[in-house]
Chains A and B, each alone.
Chain A
C-alpha cells in the first residue's frame, strides 16, 4: 500500500530501502548491561566476603572461594569463615536484590504506573507483619516446627493478605494507580500500628522487631539461604517467561484482551505471584523498600520498556545495588552494622521524590 503523505522519505520507505533501526541497539545495551552487571556482581560478591570481624584480603577471599568450589566444601579456616557465615548472606543479598527489582517491574506493568512497588502498596509490610506475629506470638508453634520453614510461609500469607486488602481498597475506589498508592499507604499504616501494639506488649523483643523494621542480612546462614534461594530463583524464571505477556499488559486490560489474553485474571494471578516473591525476599531480612521502585526506573532508561530486556537487566542491577548497599552497611562504621533497609530508604526517598516530580504528571494517577 502507499502512504498518504507521499513524501520522498516515505517513498523510500515504501521502496523497501529504509534501514529499520528497530530495537537492535537496545538489545546491545541489554547485553552490555548484563555482562557488566555480572562482572561487577562477581567483584562485589568477593569483596563482600572480605567484610567482617575476621580479616580477609580480596585475594584471600577469592582463593578461599576457589578452594570451596574445587573441594566441594571448606577446609581452611578462611574458607570455613566464608562458607558458613559470609557466603550465604551475600547470596541472599543477590537474590533479594534481583527479586525485589523484578517484583517492582512486574507490579508497575500490571498497574501500568512506574510509581508503585511492593513496598508502597503495603505488600512488604504485610509480609514482615506476618513474620512478626509468628516470631513474637507463635513461640509455642516455633517449638514444634523449625521456624526457618514457617517464616517464609507466614511471610507469604501476610503479603497476600495485605495485597488483597490493598487491592480491595484500590478497586472499590476506582482501581487507578493512585488508588493503589493510597490503599497501600493506609494498609501500611494499619500494619505499622499493629506492629507498635504487638511490640508494646513484648518490649523484650524490641531489638528483633527493629531488625524487621529496618532490614538486615546480618543473621542469615545456609539454613535460611537454602530455603529462599531456589523459590526466588524459580519465581524469577517464571517472570522471565512472562515477559511477553507483561508487554501486552502495558497496553491496558482492554487492549491486552483484544490480543488474546484474559487480562483481568492474568493481572490478579500475577499480583499474587509478586506478593509471594516479595514475601520470600523480606522473610528473613525484613522490609527493604524502594529497590522495586527505583531499579526498574533506572533500567528503563538503559534498555527501554520491553520486559524481555527490562526484567533480566533489572534483576542484575537490583542485585548489584543491594550488594553495594550491604557492603556499605557493613563497612561504614567499625563498631556497628547499619540497617540496610534504612540506608536504601535514605537514598530511595529523594530519588522517589525526584521521579514523582519529573514524571508523576504523565501518569494516570
Chain B
C-alpha cells in the first residue's frame, strides 16, 4: 500500500534522512521507533509532502505521491497530529467534518453523504454525545478520538499518526491503540510514531527502528526490539520480557553521568 524507496531529505547541508526504503502492506500497523531526533516525524512529513524530499520515490496504492495534487494526496493519506489547536471555538462535529474537505464540492454546506459519513464516525468513535460541544471543552482522551475520527472520514488508504498518546493516561493510551488496531484490521495501513515502546510492541504488526535518519531494523516486534538493538539505538540498558507472545522492554540502566 505504502512504498518508500531511496527517500532522502535534509534541511540544509547533510541528509537527515538517508536513503529510506520500506513497504507497508494493506491493513498493516507499523510503528516508527527511535530516539528524539532520529527522524520519525520528519519521515512522516516527507510522506505527506509537508517537507520536500531531496530524492527517492513514495507510492501509495500505486500512485506516485510526489506527482499527486495535494487534494488527491489528501484522499489517500491522512495525518493525525498529537493534539488539536484549541485557539478557536470549533465544535467537535465541525472539526471531524473538516476531514471531508478533499472531497467537498459544495461551496457552502456539506452534502448529505458527507454529513452521514461524519455522523457515522461520531457514533463509531463514541463522540456523538458531545458533537455540538466545543473542542476545547472535551477531555484529552475524547479529543484523541475526535482527531482519529477526522482522519477516518478522510477515507485514506494510509494513515500517519504522530505521537497520539503523548498526553494521555494509560487507559486512553490503550484505547487509542485499540482503535488504530481495529482500523488496520479493516484494511487501513497505519504508520504510527511514538516513544511508548511497550504500547508499540503490543499492538503493532511491525516495528521500524530508526537511528540518526537511517532504518536499522524493520520487522516483527519480537525480532527488532531486543536488548542489543535498544542499547544500540537509545544508549540505555534494558531487559526484554516476553508475555503472551509480546515483547516488553524494562529499562534497567541509568543515564546519570553528572556529579550532582
On A, residues with C-beta under 8 Å from B are: 1-5, 9-10, 13-14, 16, 18, 20-23, 25-26, 109, 112-114, 241, 243-244, 247-248, 250-252, 254-255, 257-262, 300, 304-306, 308, 362-364
The reply to whether A260 and B101 form a contact with Cβ atoms under 8 Å apart is yes
How many residue pairs between the two chains, A and B, have CB atoms under 8 Å in the bound complex? 131
7 additional contacts, CB 8 Å, given A22-B119, A254-B81?
A: A18-B123, A254-B79, A257-B49, A260-B72, A260-B73, A305-B94, A308-B108
The reply to whether A3 and B71 form a contact with Cβ atoms under 8 Å apart is no
20 contacts between A and B (CB under 8 A): A1-B179, A2-B182, A3-B125, A4-B179, A5-B126, A9-B129, A13-B126, A13-B129, A14-B126, A23-B94, A109-B88, A114-B87, A243-B108, A247-B90, A247-B98, A250-B90, A254-B45, A255-B79, A261-B70, A300-B88
The reply to whether A22 and B132 form a contact with Cβ atoms under 8 Å apart is yes
Contacts of B174 in A (CB 8 A): 4
In the complex, residue of chain A having the shortest beta-carbon distance to the beta carbon of B108? A308
In the complex, residue of chain A having the shortest beta-carbon distance to the beta carbon of B104? A244
The reply to whether A4 and B134 form a contact with Cβ atoms under 8 Å apart is no
In the complex, residue of chain B having the shortest beta-carbon distance to the beta carbon of A24? B132
CA distance A252 to B82 in the complex (A): 13
The reply to whether B89 and A259 form a contact with Cβ atoms under 8 Å apart is no
The reply to whether B93 and A251 form a contact with Cβ atoms under 8 Å apart is no
The reply to whether B129 and A18 form a contact with Cβ atoms under 8 Å apart is yes
The reply to whether B88 and A305 form a contact with Cβ atoms under 8 Å apart is yes
Closest chain-B Cβ to A180's Cβ sits at a distance in Å of 14
CA distance A55 to B108 in the complex (A): 45
Contacts of B60 in A (CB 8 A): none
| Count of residues in B whose CB is under 8 Å from the partner chain | 52
The answer to whether A304 and B89 touch (CB under 8 A), given A248-B101, A255-B79, A259-B74, is yes
Contacts of B132 in A (CB 8 A): 20-23, 25-26
The reply to whether A260 and B70 form a contact with Cβ atoms under 8 Å apart is yes
Closest chain-A Cβ to B130's Cβ sits at a distance in Å of 8
The answer to whether A4 and B88 touch (CB under 8 A), given A243-B108, A308-B109, is no
The reply to whether B87 and A304 form a contact with Cβ atoms under 8 Å apart is no
The reply to whether B98 and A18 form a contact with Cβ atoms under 8 Å apart is no
CA distance A4 to B170 in the complex (A): 13
In the complex, residue of chain B having the shortest beta-carbon distance to the beta carbon of A252? B85
Q: Which of B94, B98, B182 has a CB less than 8 Å from the CB of A259? A: B98
The reply to whether A255 and B81 form a contact with Cβ atoms under 8 Å apart is yes
Contacts of B91 in A (CB 8 A): 22-23, 26, 304, 306
Interface residues of B in 119-171 (CB under 8 A from A): 119, 122-126, 128-129, 131-132, 134, 154
Residue B56 interfacial (CB < 8 Å): no
In the complex, residue of chain B having the shortest beta-carbon distance to the beta carbon of A113? B87
Residue B42 interfacial (CB < 8 Å): no
CA distance A44 to B210 in the complex (A): 66
Interface flags, B84-122, vs A, CB<8A=1, else 0 = 111111110110001101101001110000000001001
Residue B235 interfacial (CB < 8 Å): no
Residue B175 interfacial (CB < 8 Å): yes
Residue B64 interfacial (CB < 8 Å): no
Residue B4 interfacial (CB < 8 Å): no
The reply to whether A251 and B98 form a contact with Cβ atoms under 8 Å apart is yes
Nearest 8 interchain pairs by C-beta: A260-B74, A21-B132, A260-B71, A4-B175, A3-B126, A258-B79, A305-B88, A305-B89
Interface centre among A5, A109, A259, A308, by most chain B C-beta atoms within 10 angstroms, is A259
The reply to whether A362 and B126 form a contact with Cβ atoms under 8 Å apart is no
The answer to whether A4 and B94 touch (CB under 8 A), given A254-B50, A258-B79, is no
Closest chain-A Cβ to B132's Cβ sits at a distance in Å of 4
Q: Which of B78, B124, B186 has a CB less than 8 Å from the CB of A258? A: B78
Interface centre among B45, B125, B182, by most chain A C-beta atoms within 10 angstroms, is B125
Q: Which of A1, A251, A300, A305 has a CB less than 8 Å from the CB of B124? A: A1
Residue B178 interfacial (CB < 8 Å): yes
The answer to whether A304 and B126 touch (CB under 8 A), given A4-B178, A21-B132, A258-B74, is no
Residue B48 interfacial (CB < 8 Å): yes
Residue B183 interfacial (CB < 8 Å): yes
Contacts of B182 in A (CB 8 A): 1-2
CA distance A109 to B88 in the complex (A): 8
Contacts of A259 in B (CB 8 A): 74, 98-99, 101-102, 154
Interface residues of B in 47-69 (CB under 8 A from A): 48-50, 69
The answer to whether A21 and B131 touch (CB under 8 A), given A247-B98, A308-B108, is yes
The reply to whether B93 and A20 form a contact with Cβ atoms under 8 Å apart is yes
Closest chain-A Cβ to B148's Cβ sits at a distance in Å of 11
Closest chain-B Cβ to A22's Cβ sits at a distance in Å of 5
